[in-house]
């Protein structure tokens, strides 16, 4: 922890602060650097995620966070968790390479449906079809070259349906006007290299990047490519916007290291117990949004889209190490009409999605009679969903506003088993791990709604909101059954939530505070040995804080923090456990976590230097539903700096884990042992950006 840092580390921290202070005091002698657009701070942000239209963020009766384009460029993320540790209530737990698990007003969830608790989207369209999500799907998004990232917390607004239980992460592609004409080269520790470029012409903009990383652990690392093509055009009375985006990942994966606090052993941290593990994934998606105004205060929009995904990986986290290949292709349409008359605003819409997907799981070598070699699962699923929604906002007075909305959605699955029905094992197996249900059709009808009352003044918004969210079961939860499951008898997860929030400005201080309570029913989760458990109930309560403070023209402070309790709220006894888990903390749910950034911008004093010192922490958490095994948590310090060498050339530095802490990005207890995805030691990446 920070209290136990070495004298050398203390000297390093002090040196950084002195370097920043000296820069502030240096006489104006260097060429002045231009200011980055201040699109990341202040209360005048707009958000499109909440309603599919541009809304003034300050007055929204829901909790949100924004990571803007300039901030994304400064972070220069190698992994998504470097972005989302700046969002109160969000912790993206890093696996190896580009792998991740999301926490958003929730524990870090695992298992087939864990990704279903969150909507991850590009320009308002889910990165993957809701019934076919993947826990790692954030690595499909082009975060480095995004226009901004918007995060809505808690049960979703009615423009979103299944999977928006705990919140929405929406990655917005940069408009043509936002796209910077530049080339960026980066190189860093352990053979990390990245080349990125972007530019615009007329109505089009293109952003692309390619990266490779040699890996910290033995026989690990990855190669990854991403590209985004954006269209912004006006044709007579119509506005036409669209995007094409693709990504490819070729990863050599390092598995968990095992043993209590093994991450503190320098030799163990470099080991890779699964040198044969890998993950190959590619994705592509596109949409075209056509809209026009209807009179003075109305709009109609039509957004057809498509997506295609494929992934093959070794399940190295399971002792029998099966290989899975999954893929799906989708077409869909989002249609919406909105308007306003005096004090009443309204919108209504229709969403349609059709997906064809498949999954094949095989095992190369015999492990036991209960985990045999050969084909475990082989099936196709056709999925259809249709939803209708409406939302009203009523300005009761100049200061009071009432918002209400409802969404009805139906999801249908047509499942075709392409192998033998029943167990994948021989009759001699005592408890076959794999069970294939017979071909069948399933449907789920669900609704979501919200009701909010808000009060607005010149510098403050106060709101209270009640909301309901849901997620239909994922196809892998329905059709990749396990030992003891012989029929599909799973219902949609639902959540009911209540939230109270206040945000505003006091002088040079921006603040945003929210308290929430959520109760979930029909919860599906995995125990420590990855057995599916269904029909559970959980409770989630917490308080979140975001703030930014402009101390003076040079110095500013920004931070976020969350304190929450996530608990099992039903009488469930797990296989091999003693007693019930009711009242226990859900595993991998630290009580508190957050980050603080101290920023210095010397450009106002004719010094072309910007710098940021970041402190982030994750508190201790339990590793199993029985609350018998624990991880102590960790604290990290990172540094980012930029020096504008000339009007067109900028040199950047990103240094992570400055104090060289031994820690776990994610800790776990399963199959009888402590397991850790290790955090990397001190690292540095130098970058050179050429503006064209």
β-sheet with 64-68: strand ranges across: 64-68, 148-153, 167-172, 118-122, 125-126
CA dihedral 656, 98, 68, 590 (to 10 degrees): -70
CA distance 61 to 465: 7
pTM, 2 dp? 0.91
Q: What is the pLDDT of residue 618?
A: 97
Residue 438 is assigned to a structural domain of this protein: yes
E strand or H helix at 325, and its extent?
strand 323-341
**Cβ 610 vs Cβ 634: under 8 Å:** no
Q: What is the pLDDT of residue 412?
A: 97
Strands 555-568 and 532-550: antiparallel
223-260 pLDDT per residue, tens:
999 999 999 999 988 999 999 999 999 999 999 999 99
CA distance 88 to 105: 9
Q: Residue 441 has which token pair?
A: 């059709």
Residue 135 is assigned to a structural domain of this protein: yes
Q: What is the pLDDT of residue 145?
A: 97
Q: What is the pLDDT of residue 196?
A: 98
CA distance 671 to 446: 36
CA distance 475 to 415: 9
Nearest Cα residue to 79 out of 200, 211, 203:
211
**Does residue 536 surpass a pLDDT of 80?**
yes
Q: Mean pLDDT lowest for which of 305-309, 454-458, 481-485?
A: 481-485
Largest CA distance in the chain: 83
The residue segments making up the domain with residue 266 are: 2-419+431-470+494-691
What number of other Cβ atoms are within 10 A of residue 442's Cβ? 18
Q: Name the pLDDT band for 528 (thresholds 50, 70, 90).
A: low
Residue 477 is assigned to a structural domain of this protein: no
**Does residue 308 surpass a pLDDT of 60?**
yes
Question: Which residues, other chains included, contact 15 with Cβ-Cβ below 8 Å and sequence gap of 6+?
Answer: none
Q: What is the pLDDT of residue 4?
A: 40
Residue 564 is assigned to a structural domain of this protein: yes
CATH code of the domain containing 640: 2.40.170.20
155-212 pLDDT per residue, tens:
978 999 898 899 999 999 999 999 999 999 999 999 999 999 999 999 999 999 999 9
CA distance 604 to 21: 14
CA distance 597 to 603: 18
- Helix and strand numbers, DSSP H then E, in the chain: 5, 39
Give first-to-last CA distance, the chain, whole Å.
44
CA distance 129 to 575: 32
Give me the number of domains the chain comprises: 1
Mean pLDDT across the stretch 17-44?
Answer: 38
Q: Residue 35 has which token pair?
A: 């200011």
Residue 480 is assigned to a structural domain of this protein: no
Matching residue, tokens 């308007």: 339
Residue 312 is assigned to a structural domain of this protein: yes
What number of other Cβ atoms are within 10 A of residue 55's Cβ? 18
340-398 pLDDT per residue, tens:
988 999 999 999 999 999 999 999 999 999 999 999 999 999 999 999 999 999 999 99
Mean pLDDT across the stretch 78-93?
Answer: 95
Q: Mean pLDDT lowest for which of 434-438, 483-487, 524-528, 575-579?
A: 575-579
**Does residue 24 surpass a pLDDT of 60?**
no
117-162 pLDDT per residue, tens:
899 999 999 999 989 988 899 999 999 999 999 999 999 789 998 9
Q: What is the pLDDT of residue 576?
A: 57
CA distance 106 to 103: 5
278-296 pLDDT per residue, tens:
999 999 999 999 999 987 7
| DSSP state letter for 260 | T
Matching residue, tokens 């329905």: 478
Mean pLDDT across the stretch 498-523?
Answer: 96
598-649 pLDDT per residue, tens:
999 998 888 899 999 999 999 999 998 889 999 999 999 999 999 999 999 9
**Cβ 621 vs Cβ 588: under 8 Å:** yes
Residue 424 is assigned to a structural domain of this protein: no
CA distance 436 to 378: 9
Ramachandran category for residue 342: left, alpha or beta (phi over 0 → left; psi -120 to 50 → alpha): left
**Cβ 158 vs Cβ 179: under 8 Å:** no
| DSSP state letter for 671 | T
Distances (CA, A) of 658 to 337, 436, 615, 654: 51, 50, 10, 10
Mean pLDDT across the stretch 63-80?
Answer: 96
Residue 482 is assigned to a structural domain of this protein: no
Q: Residue 234 has which token pair?
A: 């006006």
Q: Is 8 exposed, middle or buried (0-12, 13-18, 19+ CB in 10 A)?
A: exposed
573-591 pLDDT per residue, tens:
765 566 788 899 999 999 9
3-state secondary structure of 54: coil
Nearest Cα residue to 126 out of 380, 306, 391, 376:
306
407-454 pLDDT per residue, tens:
999 999 999 999 999 999 998 898 899 999 999 999 999 999 999 999
Q: Write down the mean pLDDT value for the chain.
A: 90
CA distance 587 to 589: 6
């Amino acid at each position: 922890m920070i209290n136990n840092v070495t004298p050398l580390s203390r000297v390093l921290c002090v040196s950084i602060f002195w370097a920043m202070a000296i820069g502030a005091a240096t006489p104006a002698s260097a060429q002045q650097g231009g200011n980055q657009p201040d699109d990341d701070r202040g209360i005048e942000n707009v958000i499109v995620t909440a309603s599919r239209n541009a809304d003034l963020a300050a007055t929204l009766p829901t909790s949100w966070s924004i990571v803007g384009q300039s901030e994304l460029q400064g972070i220069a993320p190698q992994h998504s968790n470097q972005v989302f540790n700046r969002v109160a209530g969000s912790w993206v737990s890093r696996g190896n390479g580009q792998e991740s698990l999301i926490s958003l007003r929730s524990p870090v969830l695992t298992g087939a449906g864990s990704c279903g608790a969150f909507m991850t989207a590009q320009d308002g369209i889910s990165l993957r079809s809701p019934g076919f999500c993947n826990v790692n799907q954030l690595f499909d998004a082009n975060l480095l070259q995004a226009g901004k990232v918007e995060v809505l917390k808690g049960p979703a607004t009615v423009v979103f349906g299944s999977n928006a239980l705990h919140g929405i992460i929406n990655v917005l592609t940069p408009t043509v006007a936002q796209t910077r004409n530049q080339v960026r080269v980066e190189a860093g520790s352990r053979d990390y290299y990245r080349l990125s470029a972007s530019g615009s012409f007329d109505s089009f903009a293109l952003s692309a990047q390619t990266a490779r990383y040699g890996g910290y652990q033995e026989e690990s690392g990855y190669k990854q490519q991403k590209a985004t093509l954006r269209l912004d055009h006006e044709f007579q009375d119509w506005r036409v916007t669209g995007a094409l985006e693709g990504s490819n990942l070729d990863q050599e994966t390092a598995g968990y290291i095992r043993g209590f606090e093994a991450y503190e052993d320098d030799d163990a941290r470099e080991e890779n117990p699964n040198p044969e593990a890998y993950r190959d994934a590619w994705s592509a998606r596109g949409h075209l949004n056509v809209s026009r105004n209807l009179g003075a205060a109305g709009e109609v929009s039509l957004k057809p889209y498509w997506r295609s995904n494929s992934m093959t990986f070794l399940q190295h986290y399971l002792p029998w190490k099966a290989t899975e290949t999954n893929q799906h292709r989708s077409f869909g349409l989002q249609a919406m009409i909105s308007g306003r008359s005096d004090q009443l605003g309204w919108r209504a819409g229709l969403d349609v999605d059709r997906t064809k997907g498949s999954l094949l799981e095989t095992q190369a070598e015999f492990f036991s009679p209960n985990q045999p070699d050969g084909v475990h699962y082989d099936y196709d699923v056709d999925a259809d969903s249709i939803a209708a929604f409406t939302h009203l906002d009523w300005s009761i007075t100049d200061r009071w506003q009432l918002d209400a909305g409802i969404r009805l959605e139906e999801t249908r699955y047509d499942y075709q088993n392409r192998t033998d029905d029943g167990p994948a094992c021989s009759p001699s197996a005592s408890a076959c791990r794999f069970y294939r249900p017979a071909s069948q059709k399933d449907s789920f009808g669900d609704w979501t709604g919200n009701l909010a009352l808000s009060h607005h003044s010149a510098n403050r918004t106060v709101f209270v909101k009640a909301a309901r969210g849901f997620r239909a079961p994922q196809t892998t939860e329905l059709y990749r059954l396990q030992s003891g499951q012989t029929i599909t008898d799973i219902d949609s997860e639902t959540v009911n939530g209540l939230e109270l929030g206040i945000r505003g400005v006091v002088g040079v201080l921006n603040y945003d505070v929210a308290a929430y309570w959520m109760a979930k029913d029909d919860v599906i989760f995995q125990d420590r040995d990855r057995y599916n458990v269904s029909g559970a109930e959980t409770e989630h309560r917490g308080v979140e804080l975001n703030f930014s403070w402009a101390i003076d023209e040079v110095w500013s402070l920004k931070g976020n923090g969350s304190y929450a309790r996530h608990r099992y709220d039903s009488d469930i006894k797990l296989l091999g456990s003693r007693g019930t888990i009711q009242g226990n903390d859900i595993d991998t749910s630290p009580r508190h976590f957050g980050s603080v950034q101290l920023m210095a911008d010397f450009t106002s004093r004719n010094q072309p230097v910007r710098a940021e010192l970041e402190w982030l922490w994750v508190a201790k958490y339990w590793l199993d539903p029985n609350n018998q095994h624990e991880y102590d948590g960790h604290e990290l310090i990172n540094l980012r700096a930029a020096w504008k060498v000339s009007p067109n050339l900028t040199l950047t530095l990103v240094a992570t884990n400055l104090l060289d802490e031994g820690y776990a990005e994610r800790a776990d207890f399963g199959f009888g042992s402590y397991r850790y995805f290790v955090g990397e030691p001190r690292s540095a990446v130098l970058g050179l950006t050429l503006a064209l």
